[in-house]
Structure 1
């Protein structure tokens, strides 16, 4: 069959179907003006025409799967679904299918299919085949998303889903509480150095490690080992350039959060503590719907608040032995003698350099009551 695919992008390519987009796709069906315009490809820019081999998908499913298998069938073929699904109905192939995701492209000029015939097939698939679940990859969603990813429900976690916690609760009496956390980046070597140093400290203070989903997926054995000693929290599914994660549409934020939850579940870990790059209404909404608590450190190293930012003049021009007290002081100043949540970013090499000195201070001189993240939020 002849396949029509999209023109390669260039600055003067023009609009695709009236929209400034690079679809990256094609179709087996084109309008006559699109077929004739081999230079620009018409309104959908389908300028590349190629002869491609085809497969009897209905027969392939029957020959390569068993009825007893759990088969998830996803179909998004820009109009070719009508012939494919008709053949599957005729062959009884839906008996092999347990779940069907897809899209119907009723506007495509499919050869041999008018509007009435298309509508009849949609009805036949619903009644005689398998109900279709909508799938919209470009929007990062599908109809049974929330069914597959229900909110976390566990009495072992304190706090309220979607609530932002930027410090520890004040104790009825006694010293302010403080909990130490590590924002683990994707540099496993740097993270391992920092975490192992913290683990070896004589105070054995409770620490929470916040991990990207991609880190868990890439280093599952390391994460499993860390979980024996530390509380595990979550970050996004992957790192983004600073400030860009929360600029995305809410469905992308949801996908990043669910991805990390899924990666943790694959190593038999569950957490309700989420430390996002930044707190927005979309982040709070998704955290609440997933049943997780939002953690925002009281004091960060390196600091992100403009009041405490490190510069060449106040920090980087100095030797490492001179940077240590400056780093510790900026953490102490952020705490304002009130305790709270301290975070070290493993991607900054000075986090490793100052970690022992920080823990010495916290354990011996600070006067804070060093607690777990759970005790901090109670």
Structure 2
């Protein structure tokens, strides 16, 4: 059995730092598509995959926010804190398929989301393809509460997805920005 930590939306590496403080023997993988943040991973014990997690493979526009504070980047141009005219074309990956291709259900997988609203699309896809069943612990930030309809999802769809997710595995709140980020003000609430 392998022990795996998958960090979706790694930003500056704060979640990896937080996770390894309390866990040993884990292989760590970080998905972070913002090319400006890759430098923060050079000395961290994780495999950086410079792609956005999504429900299928391809390329997409990744709307850039500022580096720090609440200025996170997003796949959603409608998100309130991004400039829809400032984006990078990035690769996206079907997270569920990647999990099924690289791990098995006997592995102990901790999955963390910080993907600025994309968690709903990805989790819905993982429910449908069975890859959520590979996950033993699930953490993240729910961005519906922060941004509401600016991420193109209705409350009814969000509630349906999260109810189905929580039937299988509890989605637990996660924030590492408080004390693990490099040169970042404390922003978690």
Do 2:72 and 2:81's aligned partners in 1 also have CA atoms closer than 8 Å? no
Matched residues, number: 120
User: Alignment partner for residue 71 of structure 1, among 98, 105, 109?
Assistant: 109
Deviation of 1:140 (Å): 4.4
TM-score of the two chains, using structure 2 as the length reference: 0.56
- Verify: 1:52 aligned to 2:90, yes or no: yes
> How many angstroms apart in 1 are the aligned matches of 2:129 and 2:73?
27
- Verify: 1:116 aligned to 2:116, yes or no: no
Do 1:71 and 1:98's aligned partners in 2 also have CA atoms closer than 8 Å? yes
Q: Look up the match of 2:28.
A: none
CA RMSD of aligned residues (A): 2.7
Secondary structure at the counterpart of residue 85 of structure 1: helix
Q: Look up the match of 1:255.
A: none
Deviation of 1:116 (Å): 1.3
Do 1:3 and 1:49's aligned partners in 2 also have CA atoms closer than 8 Å? yes
Q: Look up the match of 2:77.
A: 30
Do 2:71 and 2:82's aligned partners in 1 also have CA atoms closer than 8 Å? no
Q: Look up the match of 1:95.
A: 133
> How many angstroms apart in 2 are the aligned matches of 1:69 and 1:90?
20
Residue 45 to residue 78, structure 1, CA distance change in 2 (3 Å) = closer
Secondary structure at the counterpart of residue 83 of structure 1: helix
Deviation of 1:119 (Å): 1.4
> How many angstroms apart in 1 are the aligned matches of 2:101 and 2:121?
19
> How many angstroms apart in 1 are the aligned matches of 2:82 and 2:134?
37
Q: Look up the match of 1:4.
A: 63
User: Alignment partner for residue 80 of structure 1, among 118, 128, 140?
Assistant: 118
> How many angstroms apart in 2 are the aligned matches of 1:122 and 1:29?
19
Secondary structure at the counterpart of residue 93 of structure 2: coil
> How many angstroms apart in 2 are the aligned matches of 1:45 and 1:55?
22
Deviation of 1:81 (Å): 0.6
TM-score of the two chains, using structure 1 as the length reference: 0.29
> C-alpha deviations, 1:111-165, integer Å up to 9, x for none?
3x211111121111101x3111110112349xxxxxxxxxxxxxxxxxxxxxxxx
Unaligned residue ranges in structure 1 (runs of 5+) = 9-20, 35-42, 142-247, 250-378
Deviation of 1:52 (Å): 1.5
Unaligned residue ranges in structure 2 (runs of 5+) = 1-59
> How many angstroms apart in 2 are the aligned matches of 1:26 and 1:85?
19
Secondary structure at the counterpart of residue 151 of structure 2: coil
Deviation of 1:78 (Å): 0.4
Give the number of the structure whose residues are more often strand, by fraction.
2
> How many angstroms apart in 1 are the aligned matches of 2:69 and 2:172?
26
> How many angstroms apart in 2 are the aligned matches of 1:92 and 1:65?
13
> How many angstroms apart in 1 are the aligned matches of 2:174 and 2:76?
21
The structure with more radius of gyration: 1
> How many angstroms apart in 2 are the aligned matches of 1:50 and 1:137?
25
